[in-house]
A and B are shown apart, each in its own frame.
Chain A
Amino acid sequence: MRVCIVGGGKIGFYLSKTLMEHGHEPIIIESDESTCQRLAESLDFPVVHGDGTLVEILELAKVSGCQALIGVTGKDETNLIACQLAKKVFGVKKTVARVNNPKNAPVLKQLGVDIAVSSTDNIAHLIEREVETDAIHHLLSIVGGDAALTEVLLPDSFKFAGRTLAELEIPHDVVIVFLTRGQELIIPRGNTVLQGGDKVVCVARNTAFHDLAMKWDLKDHQ
């Protein structure tokens, strides 16, 4: 898949490298000349020097032949305009924008960007989770980082040990997918009883983890 990346900072650099390792054909557009030079020296694919929100530069990068465009500059407006031009002028099917101000994530989606990924929000939530408790482990981000698949290790002194799931207080935005007890896989039902030491895998919105840690008393006991 040919992918155009607008912005050659840290995210653009590692993203394009990863895409290439996975068999895709990335091309980077970067407006800073010395950054371009550095990228061109260390990467084996084309780097275009210029403003990725100019029609001429996007043409030069042959964006019309790309299946996707990803805007990862530090400016939300630049990422938005690059995505919109790619879609409207060059017929690119999939556009992804990095969101710097978390408040702009819904705005960018409303203005036609297919996927808006808020790096600030994602990192903040990830760190919050890690700091708050070591009982919750992040496995996979889904829907652009709005939610995550996570593994929760129930402490030996689990507050609700011996209770069934139906009796348990589970925050609204959390669903338990399965749990493991030692080597045993348990598909949860309302009558499944939780025990200390169980590993519970759940899907939850990022905003729900704090609530879950509070309700289940998962905070680190120091």
Chain B
Amino acid sequence: MNILIVGCGKVGSYLARVLENLGHDVSVVDEHSSALDPADNVRMSGFEGLCVRGVPIDVDVLRSAGIESCDAVVAVTQSDNTNIMVAEMAKTVFGIKNVTARIYDPARQEVFSTRMGIQTICPTTLTVDALLGSMLKEEK
């Protein structure tokens, strides 16, 4: 699969490497060059995919990262709003079906997953669920 990852922080760069090892073609976009530079972000050393530095909510930046030929887009920048906008642009402007956005705020996630039809991941609820699970297991 051709996969575009927007946001190259801890999650973005780790996901990029995992997907690359699984044999996918991966490109990444980040606003900060330090996130893409192996000297600053160790996880990116040896990454062979395309790295594009630029503001993600810009059709030309997304185009230069090859969004038009992508099978899937993942938006995992630090900002919920950027992730939502990137996901909506990928879906509506570029017609990509497999789009996922990370949204930290549970209330916002609920709105955008149920009413806007984008796939979302909420690390807050995932963490809380996991913590509850392990705590309740202790109780038993």
Contacts and interface: CB of A to CB of B under 8 A. Distances in A.
A38 to B, nearest CB: 25
Contact of A88 (B57, B79, B88, B111): B111
A111 B108 contact: no
Interface in A16-71: 53-56
Interface stretch (A79-87, A139-147, A153-161, A178-186): A79-87
A88 B57 CA distance: 22
A163 interface: no
A57 to B, nearest CB: 10
Nearest to B105: A54
B14 to A, nearest CB: 24
Given A101-B57, A103-B59, A107-B59, A77 B108 contact: no
A111 B55 contact: no
Nearest to A53: B81
A107 B81 contact: no
Contacts of A80: 81, 84-85, 88
B57 A110 contact: no
B76 to A, nearest CB: 14
A114 to B, nearest CB: 16
B82 interface: yes
Contacts of B58: 101, 103-104
Nearest to A84: B116
Contact of B111 (A75, A76, A85, A111): A85
A119 interface: no
Contacts of A168: none
Nearest to B55: A101
Interface string B74-94: 000001111011001100110
B48 interface: no
Contacts of A81: 80-81, 84-85, 108
A133 interface: no
A111 B112 CA distance: 13
Given A54-B108, A75-B81, A88 B59 contact: no
A83 B58 CA distance: 19
A16 B76 CA distance: 35
A78 interface: yes
B60 interface: yes
Contacts of A76: 57, 85
B111 A77 contact: no
A107 B59 CA distance: 8
B115 interface: yes
A77 B116 contact: no
A104 B82 CA distance: 13
A123 interface: no
Interface string B99-123: 0000001011001000110000000
Interface of B: 55, 57-60, 79-82, 84-85, 88-89, 92-93, 105, 107-108, 111, 115-116
The 9 closest A-B pairs by CB, nearest first: A77-B81, A77-B85, A55-B107, A81-B81, A88-B115, A77-B82, A111-B88, A78-B81, A80-B85
6 contacts: A54-B105, A77-B79, A77-B84, A88-B115, A89-B115, A101-B55
